Amino acid sequence: MVICSRKMSSSSRALVLIAAVLSVASCSCSHVVAAGHPDYADALAKSILFFQGQRSGRLPPDQAVKWRSNSGLSDGSAANVDLTGGYYDGGDNVKFGFPMAFTTTMLSWGIVEYGGRMQGLVHDARAAVRWAADYLLKAATRTPGVLYVGVGDPDADHRCWERPEDMDTPRTVYSVSASNPGSDVAAETAAALAAAALVFKAADPAYSKRLVTTARNLMAFAVQHPGKYSDHIGGDVGAYYASYSGYQDELLWGSAWLHWATKNSSYLDYLNSLGANDGVDMFSWDNKLAGARVLLSRRALVDRDRRLEPFRRQAEDFICSILPGSPSSTTQYTPGGMMYKSGQANLQYVTSASFLLTTFAKYMAVSNHTFSCQSVPVTAKTLRALAKKQVYICVVTSSSSCMEPCMDKRVRLHQVDYILGKNPLGMSYMVGYGARFPQKIHHRASSVPSVGAHPARIGCQEGFRDYFNAASANPNVHIGAVVGGPDQHDAFPDDRGDYDRSEPTTYTNAALVGCLAYFAGSYKN
């Protein structure tokens, strides 16, 4: 579980972006590395497999991650409802509905945009969405007027280090209702179910219709009963996934997804009435503004719907805030080229931004669109270069001239490739991918022997004593798990106790799946 902090501010770099597709002033001294690229298809398969290791509930016969077993089979009993299933958000044993819904939305978006590039893996990707969507449907429909948004006392859980199969901490149930509103979590759950409905529209039409119906009801609830869920549900859940950004972003996000799923013009009217004009330079489980704006840009660019032009311009403002070399950039990059937004689980911001770059580039390419960050022109290839691979960038100073060799003044930038091992440490931050990857991730089920290897129960403090504090590698390799990642200096300690850098989360992987699918379809090994 990663505790969110407010976004950090950082000074923009004195760089002018000169990629193969850009020309700044009259100088053209760009270099695109022609070296090999990672095996994106292998990384994609592993990133999807990761979700099986996060499953709660009764596992199916085709479960491929064999070190996991059934868990949380009485979830919901504290409220006399069935809330089994769903995902643990990270390395703990709590089910937090807010980030689980965002995970579902991002997994679904990746399939909607890039499912055709997943080939034989699209079935597994749909299964990952359905595992979450089935749970969210239960949470939204078991009790009229109530949305269940969490199972498990997070404070008690974090005082324990035990595998989910053994957990004996309170499985407290948390919910929102008219008297305890939660517009943010309700609208995010609506977005998740609407996005999942698009995934299953052809594959399972009846299921898709059920998802849409529930999403519409949740969105109505979110609008009619305004409020931040973390202000109302108690149990200190807000200390783990507080809604720092408020709920306007989720109202925009949920309406955008329902507009796509239903084609109902009332959602478009509502979108235009929200007036969410805040500038943002990150996209996360908490703040959805950038994602909603990129999503709405699809209609503005591909369908030429001029009513959505303001959202397209806001999406471009977001991109200008993260592009190195943009005069309006507010984003820091490490010496090795990683986008750096926070000391807490930074790679979640890298994967989510990379997905938006890749997807906005898709919309730009289809519509033959370009734009500028003030004086710096941007094309679809520009965005894909930053999201995908290693690009050389010249540092242009007043004494620079086009006659000077840029090779002496270059900075390497890459995001997905950085995660997969093209970084100063030569380490993949996806477990099980490449020759070198994290061995001691902050994850209870991975770090404690499986039930198959150690049938006897392992208690809370025994787990801390014998496994959390162990110097050895985790006994269960959590294939596909992307950890929080290195610090601002590209350093990574591989320390189980350092949850900021060593804990994987579902929402970090969810955003990466779509990127990997795009690159797997574009770059064949």
The residues that are catalytic are 442, 494, 503
Task: Report the chain's terminal Cα–Cα distance, integer Å.
Answer: 35
In a 10 Å sphere around its CB, with 0-12 CB exposed, 13-18 middle and 19+ buried, how is residue 309 labelled?
middle
Neighbouring-strand partners of residue 412? 392
Length of the chain: 525
| Sequence-ordered list of residues with C-beta below 8 angstroms from that of 184, at least 6 positions apart, any chain | 98, 222, 228, 229, 243, 246, 247, 249, 250
From the list 155, 328, 181, 151, the residue with the least C-alpha distance to 246 is 181
The sign one gets for the Cα dihedral 99, 100, 101, 104 is: positive
How far apart are the C-alpha atoms of 107 and 101, rounded to whole Å?
A: 10
Are β-strands 376-378 and 391-394 bridged in parallel, bridged antiparallel, or unpaired?
unpaired
From the list 469, 473, 446, the residue with the least C-alpha distance to 53 is 446
Phi first, then psi: what are they for 57, rounded to 5°?
A: 105, -165
Q: Give the CA dihedral 474, 475, 476, 482, nearest 10 degrees.
A: 20
The sign one gets for the Cα dihedral 491, 496, 497, 499 is: positive
Phi first, then psi: what are they for 378, rounded to 5°?
A: -130, 135
How far apart are the C-alpha atoms of 190 and 223, rounded to whole Å?
A: 11
How far apart are the C-alpha atoms of 171 and 132, rounded to whole Å?
A: 18
How far apart are the C-alpha atoms of 364 and 376, rounded to whole Å?
A: 16
In this structure, are residues 356 and 373 in contact, taking their beta carbons and an 8 Å threshold? no
**CA max distance for the chain:** 74
Q: Give the CA dihedral 196, 202, 205, 207, nearest 10 degrees.
A: -30
